Structure 1
Amino acid sequence: MDSRKLGANGPDVSAIGLGAMNICGFYGPSSEDEARALFRRAAELGVTHLDTSNVYGNGFSEEVIGRYLAAGEPGFTLATKAGIRRDPDSGARFYDNSPAHLREALETSLERLGVDRVELFYIHRREADRPIEEVAETLADFRKEGLIGGFGFSEIAPASLRRAAAVHPVAAVQSEYSLSTRAPELGLVQACEELGTALVAFSPVGRGLLTDVPPTPEIVEDSVFLKVNPRFLPPNLAANVAITDGFRALAAEMGCPAASLAIAWLLARSPAVIPIPGTRGVVHLEELVRGAGMRLSAEDMARIEAVLPVGWAHGDRYSDAQWHGPERFC
C-alpha cells in the first residue's frame, strides 16, 4: 500500500483510509462483529487510517473501535470529529465550536476510543458566527497539550481554510470528492496542495453509484440518508444509474471493479487526496483497496472523463436540510 502525508507535518498513512460511519447503520443494518471483521481485513490489506466521529451512532462508532483496540487487534492512525450538538428538548441540530464544548467532546471521544490522543481531530461542522481563527487557536492548544497530533475541518470553503491556516497549519480538510462531486476542484484541491493540507475525501465512490452494484430503490428506502437525498430520489436515481452504466462497462473493459477504478481516478487527481471510503463488507473493501494499487495513464483518465464528464449527476448532492452546515463556495 502506498502512503500519503496526513498534513505537511503529519504522519504517513495508507493512500486510502476507512470511514467508520457505515458501521452505525447509516446506510443499512450492521453489527459489531461485522465491524471487527472489517477492521481486521483492512489492517491485513495495509489500511492504516481510520476515520470516525462522536456523532456516528451517538458515540457507538467510537465505542466499537475502542473495544476492538482494547482486544489487542491491529491499531490504526485515528481521526475523530466534534462540533455537532442537538438541543435536548427539540432535538434540533446546532453547531458549537466553543473551547469548552470541544474539550469536553474530545475528552469523551478519547475515553470511548480508549486512547490518550488521536492523530487528527476535526471540526465536524463550523459554527458560522464564531471566527475560524479563534477555533484554530483552541485546536492548536489541544495539540500543545498532546491530546491531538493535528487538526482539521470538515466541509469548509477554501477561504476558510486559508484563514485557519494563517493561525496554525491545518492538517486536513474533509470534503466529499469523487467522480460524482467535483466541486473541490474549484479551489479546495488547489488550496490544500498549496498549504500542505491533506484533502480527506469521503464518499469517494458516490455513495454506491460508482460501484458494480449501485443502490436500488429498496436499498435507498432502508437508508435514513439516501431516501431524502436528491440524487437517489425518482427520477434522478434511474438517470444516474443509467449514466454510470457506462462507467461500469469501462471498468469491466479495463479488467477491474468499478469501485477500484473510482478510487484510482481520485488518487490520480492530486497527491493531497486521501480517500476514506466507508463500507460494511469485506469484499467491497478489497475492491476499494485494489484501486489504491492501480496506475492510470493520461489515456485512461481521458476515457473516464468521456463517460462521466463534469456535471453528469442528476440532482444536488444534498437536500436543503442536508446542506445545513457545509460551506458552499462555488
Structure 2
Amino acid sequence: MRSATLGQLTVSAQGLGCMGMSEFYGPGDWDESIATVRHALDNGVSFLDTADVYGQGHNEVLVGRAIAGRRDEVQLATKFGIDRSAGDHRRVLRGERDYVKRSCEASLLRLGVDVIDLYYVHRPPQDVEIEETVQAMAELKAEGKIRQLGLSEVDASLLRRAHEVHPIAAVQSEYSLWTRDLESEVAPAMRELGVGLVAYSPLGRGFLTGTVDLKSLAGTDFRNRNPRFQSEAAAANAAIVEAVATIAEARDLAPAQIALAWVFAQADRLGVTVTSIPGTKRIKWLDQNIAAMDVTLTDAELATLDPLAAKVVGARY
C-alpha cells in the first residue's frame, strides 16, 4: 500500500469509507463489518473514514470497536456538522463553537480514542460563518483532541477563508469518473494552498462497478432516490459503465479497479495529493479495491475515460 500526506498526516493512499456499514446502502452486518475493517488494517489500508451522522453515532461506535487494541495502526477521520436530531427533513448544518466542541467530545467517546487524526466539517455551516467553525477546530487541535483539520464539500472561497484561520490538511469531495465538479475552481485553490484531496464515492456509489442491480436495492438504500439511479437516467448512464467495462475486460480487471485507477491517475493533472476512500462492508470487494493500487492506465485508456463525465445524466444528489 502506498502512502500519501495530508497536511502533517501520513495516510494509506487508499482508505476505507465505513458509512455503508451503518446506513444508506441497505442493511449492514456488525460482525462482517468489524471483520472488514480489521482485514483492511491487516492489508495496509489504515485510513478509516466515518462521521457522527452515519447511523446517528452507530458507525463511530462500530469503527471504535473494530480498531480496539490497534489504534497505533490507524489514521482515523471523522466529521461533524449535520444535525439530524429533529429528523432528516429538518436537518441543520451547524458549526457554532460550542456545538463543534460537544461534537468532538461525543465522537471521541464513541470511537474510544483520545485524539482524532483528521476532523472534518461535514458541510459548510448554515448558522455561523466558517471562520467561527474553523477557529473552534483550531482550539480542539491546541487541546490535543484532533491532529489535522479538514473540510468536506466546500467551494474555493470557503476553503480560502477557512485556511486563513488555520491551515486545512484535506478537502473531502465526491470525485470519480462521473463526478468532476471540483476541477474547475476548488482544485486550483487546493493546489495553491497545499491541501490534499480525499475522494469519496470514487466508484460512483457503486454504479461504475457494473454490479448494482437497481431492481433489488433495499428499501432503505438511498440510491432509490438518487437522480442518477432513476430509470431513464440509469439507462443513459449505462453507456458510461459499458465504456469502463470494455477497458476492464481487455485488461482482465474489474470495472471498479479501472474506476479507482482513474482517480489516482489525476494527481499530477490536478497538482494535489489524491487519496481515495471507496466504501464497502465486505472483504471480497475490499480486496478488489486494494488490488486497484497496482493498476496503471495507458494514455489511450485515459483518453477514453476522460470524456465520460460530460455524458452523465442526472444530478449527483
State the TM-score, normalized to the length of structure 2. Answer: 0.93
TM-aligned CA distance change 1:263 to 1:246, over 3 Å = same
Counting only pairs closer than 5 Å after superposition, residues 200-279 of structure 1 correspond to structure 2 as 200-219=198-217, 222-270=219-267, 271-279=272-280
Identity of aligned residues (%): 40
Question: What displacement does 1:156 show?
Answer: 0.6
Deviations 1:134-187 (A, max 9, x none): 222111111111100011111110111011111211011111000010111112
Aligned counterpart for 1:149 among listed residues 122, 147, 150: 147
SS in 1 for 2:278: coil
Deviations 1:100-144 (A, max 9, x none): 111111001001111001001111122135221222211111111
Query: Residue 64 of structure 2 corresponds to which residue in structure 1?
Result: 66
Q: Which residue type is aligned with residue 269 of structure 1?
A: Q
Counterpart CA distance in 1 for 2:240 and 2:185 is 27
Counterpart CA distance in 2 for 1:263 and 1:26 is 22
Counterpart CA distance in 2 for 1:89 and 1:317 is 22
Asked if 2 retains the 8 angstrom alpha-carbon contact of 1:209 and 1:215, the reply is: no
Question: What displacement does 1:315 show?
Answer: 0.7
Aligned counterpart for 2:112 among listed residues 111, 114, 128: 114
Query: Residue 184 of structure 2 corresponds to which residue in structure 1?
Result: 186
Question: What displacement does 1:74 show?
Answer: 7.6
Query: Residue 167 of structure 2 corresponds to which residue in structure 1?
Result: 169
Query: Residue 315 of structure 1 corresponds to which residue in structure 2?
Result: 314
Counterpart CA distance in 1 for 2:202 and 2:85 is 32
Q: Which residue type is aligned with residue 94 of structure 2?
A: D
Query: Residue 50 of structure 2 corresponds to which residue in structure 1?
Result: 52
Counterpart CA distance in 2 for 1:91 and 1:160 is 25
Counterpart CA distance in 1 for 2:102 and 2:48 is 22
TM-aligned CA distance change 1:93 to 1:45, over 3 Å = same
Asked if 1 retains the 8 angstrom alpha-carbon contact of 2:264 and 2:274, the reply is: yes
Q: Which has the higher helix share?
A: 2
Q: Which residue type is aligned with residue 301 of structure 1?
A: L
Question: What displacement does 1:36 show?
Answer: 1.2
Asked if 2 retains the 8 angstrom alpha-carbon contact of 1:27 and 1:222, the reply is: no
Counterpart CA distance in 2 for 1:12 and 1:211 is 28
RMSD: 1.8
Question: What displacement does 1:71 show?
Answer: 5.4
Q: Which residue type is aligned with residue 3 of structure 1?
A: S
Counterpart CA distance in 2 for 1:29 and 1:206 is 19
For these two proteins, the number of residue pairs brought into alignment is 313
Deviates more, 1:127-136 or 1:98-107: 127-136
Aligned counterpart for 2:99 among listed residues 98, 101, 114: 101
Deviates more, 1:281-290 or 1:13-22: 281-290
Question: What displacement does 1:264 show?
Answer: 0.8
Counterpart CA distance in 1 for 2:227 and 2:88 is 26
Deviations 1:62-103 (A, max 9, x none): 111122223558841101111111354896101220111111
Q: Which residue type is aligned with residue 213 of structure 1?
A: T
SS in 1 for 2:165: coil
SS in 1 for 2:310: coil
Query: Residue 5 of structure 2 corresponds to which residue in structure 1?
Result: 5
Unaligned stretches of 5+ residues in structure 1: 319-330
State the TM-score, normalized to the length of structure 1. Answer: 0.90
TM-aligned CA distance change 1:138 to 1:74, over 3 Å = closer
SS in 1 for 2:216: helix
